[in-house]
A and B are shown apart, each in its own frame.
Chain A
Amino acid sequence: RKEVEQDPGPFNVPEGATVAFNCTYSNSASQSFFWYRQDCRKEPKLLMSVYSSGNEDGRFTAQLNRASQYISLLIRDSKLSDSATYLCVVRNYGQNFVFGPGTRLSVLP
């Protein structure tokens, strides 16, 4: 089993839709959690960190369930510019970052 798993995708949604991405991780010692965004043929960029209490940044909401080892990302009111691959990332304290395989999102006009 891979250490970080994500919805296989791709997700094709119309503009304005709400879309949710799911991620599970296997290492219960993981302490830091992130969502990265990667545009086609570009480097990954940090979208947001994920905190235990859940956190929101504009149209983006991230949730963490440590008991279930589950992370989610919700995007409301999707824009064409949200089209990208979304990578779930976990990290143990002081250790390397472990990336999931990513879920590709296409927002359609």
Chain B
Amino acid sequence: ETGVTQSPTHLIKTRGQQVTLRCSSQSGHNTVSWYQQALGQGPQFIFQYYREEENGRGNFPPRFSGLQFPNYSSELNVNALELDDSALYLCASSLDVIGADTQYFGPGTRLTVL
């Protein structure tokens, strides 16, 4: 396994609610990226955190926000949930923003919005 963990594994929410997803990166990795994967599509980049600072963001609205903690674990928060937010949310950790071309994915959190 990759050593990247995510919680919870599954989550069911209703429209308008807020959700927090968590990711623990592989030991020693200081960079965490979050992706959204809708059914039948490839993962779409949400944002990346490097040493507790946001370092790049994809085409997602501000209601998608995140944090990275001093131990490099990370949270993804989504406010005002919409039906289209139903997806698999993946986090991936890597050692360094610039040099690392290898990222390790966690098992994902499957979010269903009703």
Contacts and interface: CB of A to CB of B under 8 A. Distances in A.
Interface of A: 4, 32, 34, 41-46, 49, 87, 91, 93-102
Interface residues of B, number: 25
Nearest to A45: B105
B42 interface: yes
Contacts of A4: 42
Contacts of B98: 93-94
Interface of B: 2, 33, 35, 40-45, 48, 56, 58, 88, 90, 92, 97-98, 101-103, 105-108, 110
Contacts of B35: 99
Contacts of A102: 41-42
Contacts of B42: 4, 87, 99-102
B108 A43 contact: yes
| Chief secondary structure at chain B's binding surface | loop
14 contacts: A42-B108, A43-B105, A44-B90, A94-B97, A94-B98, A96-B48, A96-B56, A97-B92, A99-B35, A99-B43, A100-B42, A101-B41, A101-B42, A102-B41
Contacts of A87: 42-43
Given A34-B101, A43-B108, 11 more contacts: A4-B42, A41-B88, A43-B2, A44-B43, A87-B42, A93-B98, A95-B56, A96-B56, A98-B45, A99-B43, A99-B44
Given A32-B101, A43-B106, A43-B108, A97 B41 contact: no
Contacts, number: 47
Given A95-B56, A99-B43, A42 B107 contact: yes
Contact of A97 (B2, B40, B45, B110): B45
B3 to A, nearest CB: 12
B73 to A, nearest CB: 17
A94 to B, nearest CB: 5
Nearest to B97: A94
